[in-house]
Amino acid sequence: AAESGITWGKAPCRFCGTGCGVLVGVKNGRIVATKGDPQAPVNRGLNCIKGYFLSKVLYGTDRLTKPLIRKGDTMVEASWDEAMTLIASKFKEAIAKHGPDSVAMYGSGQWTVFEGYAASKLFKGGIGTNNIEPNARLCMASAVTGLMTTFASDEPMGCYDDLDLGDTYFLWGANMAECHPILFSRMIDNRLKNPKVKIIDFGTRHTRTSQMADQYVRFTPQTDLALLNAIAHVIIRDKLYDEQFIKEHVVFKRGKENIGYGLEDKFKFADEPKLIGFDEYAAFLKPYTPEYVAAISGVPATTIVELAHLYADRKRKVTSLWTMGFNQHTRGTWVNNLVYNVHLLTGKICKPGENPMSLTGQPSACGTTREVGTFTHRLPADMVVTNPEHREKTAKIWGVDPKKIPAKPTYNATEMFRALDRGDIKVVWVQVTNPFQSLPNLSRYRTGARKGDGRFVIVSDIYPTRSTELADVILPSASWVEKEGVFGNAERRTQQWFKLVDAPGEARSDLWQTMELARRLGHGNLFPYKEVEREMWEEYRKFNEGQGKDLAPYATYATTRGLRWPVVNGKETLWRYAEGHDPYVKQGEGIKFYKNKPDHYKAVIWARPYEPAPEVPDKHYPFWLCTGRVLEHWHTGTMTGRVPELKRAYPAAVCEMHPDDAKRLGVQNLQKVKISSRRGSIVLPVELNGRSKAEEGNIFVAFFDEGKLINELCIDAYCPISGEPDFKKCAVKIEKA
Catalytic residue positions, numbered = 50, 139-140, 324, 361-362
The DSSP annotation for 23-83 comes to EEEEETTEEEEEEE-TT-TTTTT---HHHHTHHHHT--TT---S-EEEETTEEEE--HHHH
51 lies in the binding site for ligand SF4 (CB under 6 A): yes
Q: Are strands 473-476 and 68-71 parallel, antiparallel or unpaired?
A: antiparallel
CB 199, CB 191: distance < 8 Å = yes
Please identify, among the stretches 25-33, 44-52, 209-217, 584-592, the one whose residues bind ligand SF4 according to the rule CB under 6 A: 44-52
Please identify, among the stretches 47-55, 309-317, 497-505, 708-716, the one whose residues bind ligand SF4 according to the rule CB under 6 A: 47-55
In the bound state with ligand SF4, the residue whose beta carbon lies nearer, of 18 and 414, is 18
Please identify, among the stretches 18-26, 254-262, 660-668, 716-724, the one whose residues bind ligand SF4 according to the rule CB under 6 A: 18-26
How many CB atoms neighbour CB 184 within 10 A? Answer: 26
Contacts of 360 (CB under 8 A, 6+ apart): 16, 17, 109, 139, 140, 143, 366, 489, 490
Q: Are strands 681-687 and 672-676 parallel, antiparallel or unpaired?
A: antiparallel
How many whole angstroms separate alpha carbon 328 and alpha carbon 729?
9
Q: Least distance in Å: CB of 17 to ligand SF4? A: 7
Q: Least distance in Å: CB of 729 to ligand SF4? A: 25
In the bound state with ligand SF4, the residue whose beta carbon lies nearer, of 43 and 330, is 43
Q: Is 88 helix (H, G, I), strand (E, B) or coil?
A: helix
In the bound state with ligand SF4, the residue whose beta carbon lies nearer, of 49 and 301, is 49
- List the one residue from 25, 37, 50, 197 that touches ligand SF4 (CB under 6 A): 50
What ranges in 593-658 are assigned the alpha helix state H?
A: 644-649
Angle between helix axes 141-151 and 332-346 (nearest 10 degrees) is 40
187 lies in the binding site for ligand SF4 (CB under 6 A): no
Q: Least distance in Å: CB of 162 to ligand SF4? A: 17
The H or E element spanning position 623 is: strand 623-628
Closest CA to 189 of 160, 216, 226: 160
Where residue 473 falls (left for φ over 0; alpha for ψ -120 to 50; beta otherwise) is beta
107 to each of 116, 130, 319, 412, 432, how far by Cα in Å?
Answer: 7, 13, 32, 12, 6
- x-marked contacts with ligand SF4 along 141-180 as a string, rule CB under 6 A: ----------------------------------------
Could you give the strand order of the β-sheet that contains 356-358, starting from the edge strand earlier in sequence? Answer: 215-218, 198-203, 168-172, 318-322, 356-358
Q: Least distance in Å: CB of 22 to ligand SF4? A: 7
Please identify, among the stretches 8-16, 204-212, 495-503, 692-700, the one whose residues bind ligand SF4 according to the rule CB under 6 A: 8-16
CB 702, CB 685: distance < 8 Å = no
In the bound state with ligand SF4, the residue whose beta carbon lies nearer, of 21 and 347, is 21
272 to each of 160, 275, 411, how far by Cα in Å?
Answer: 34, 10, 20
Please identify, among the stretches 15-23, 426-434, 459-467, 617-625, the one whose residues bind ligand SF4 according to the rule CB under 6 A: 15-23
- List the one residue from 10, 18, 101, 561 that touches ligand SF4 (CB under 6 A): 18
CB 620, CB 676: distance < 8 Å = no
Q: Least distance in Å: CB of 14 to ligand SF4? A: 7
CB 485, CB 497: distance < 8 Å = yes
- List the one residue from 182, 250, 507, 613 that touches ligand SF4 (CB under 6 A): 182
How many whole angstroms separate alpha carbon 290 and alpha carbon 282?
15
667 lies in the binding site for ligand SF4 (CB under 6 A): no
Q: Least distance in Å: CB of 38 to ligand SF4? A: 14
262 lies in the binding site for ligand SF4 (CB under 6 A): no
- List the one residue from 13, 385, 475, 682 that touches ligand SF4 (CB under 6 A): 13
429 lies in the binding site for ligand SF4 (CB under 6 A): no
Q: How many positions of this chain bind ligand SF4 (CB under 6 A)?
A: 13
Q: What is the 3 state secondary structure string of 180-231?
A: CHHHHHHHHHHHHHCCCCEEEEEECEECHHHHHCCEEEECCCCCHHHHHHHH
Closest CA to 718 of 443, 340, 415: 415
In the bound state with ligand SF4, the residue whose beta carbon lies nearer, of 53 and 621, is 53
16 lies in the binding site for ligand SF4 (CB under 6 A): yes
In the bound state with ligand SF4, the residue whose beta carbon lies nearer, of 11 and 339, is 11
In the bound state with ligand SF4, the residue whose beta carbon lies nearer, of 15 and 311, is 15
639 lies in the binding site for ligand SF4 (CB under 6 A): no
For residue 151, which amino acid is it? F
How many whole angstroms separate alpha carbon 398 and alpha carbon 124?
10
- List the one residue from 11, 15, 231, 294 that touches ligand SF4 (CB under 6 A): 15
In the bound state with ligand SF4, the residue whose beta carbon lies nearer, of 67 and 485, is 485
How many whole angstroms separate alpha carbon 482 and alpha carbon 479?
5
Q: Least distance in Å: CB of 444 to ligand SF4? A: 31
Contacts of 351 (CB under 8 A, 6+ apart): 317, 575, 578
In the bound state with ligand SF4, the residue whose beta carbon lies nearer, of 567 and 631, is 631
Q: Least distance in Å: CB of 51 to ligand SF4? A: 2
Please identify, among the stretches 12-20, 203-211, 266-274, 704-712, the one whose residues bind ligand SF4 according to the rule CB under 6 A: 12-20
48 lies in the binding site for ligand SF4 (CB under 6 A): yes
Please identify, among the stretches 41-49, 249-257, 345-353, 641-649, the one whose residues bind ligand SF4 according to the rule CB under 6 A: 41-49
Closest CA to 516 of 80, 75, 132, 76: 80
47 lies in the binding site for ligand SF4 (CB under 6 A): yes
Task: Give me the residue whose beta carbon is nearest to ligand SF4.
Answer: 51
- List the one residue from 100, 181, 255, 325 that touches ligand SF4 (CB under 6 A): 181
Q: Least distance in Å: CB of 338 to ligand SF4? A: 27
Please identify, among the stretches 17-25, 135-143, 212-220, 647-655, the one whose residues bind ligand SF4 according to the rule CB under 6 A: 17-25
Q: Hey, CA dihedral for 675, 173, 606, 304, is it positive or negative?
A: positive
Q: Least distance in Å: CB of 328 to ligand SF4? A: 19
Could you give the strand order of the β-sheet that contains 603-607, starting from the edge strand earlier in sequence? Answer: 274-276, 250-254, 603-607
In the bound state with ligand SF4, the residue whose beta carbon lies nearer, of 348 and 633, is 633
In the bound state with ligand SF4, the residue whose beta carbon lies nearer, of 160 and 375, is 160
- List the one residue from 10, 11, 20, 377 that touches ligand SF4 (CB under 6 A): 20
In the bound state with ligand SF4, the residue whose beta carbon lies nearer, of 15 and 565, is 15
Contacts of 624 (CB under 8 A, 6+ apart): 204, 221, 616, 617, 697, 698, 699, 729, 730, 731, 732
Closest CA to 407 of 395, 422, 418, 415: 395
Chain positions contacting ligand SF4, by CB under 6 A: 13, 15-16, 18-20, 43, 47-48, 50-51, 181-182
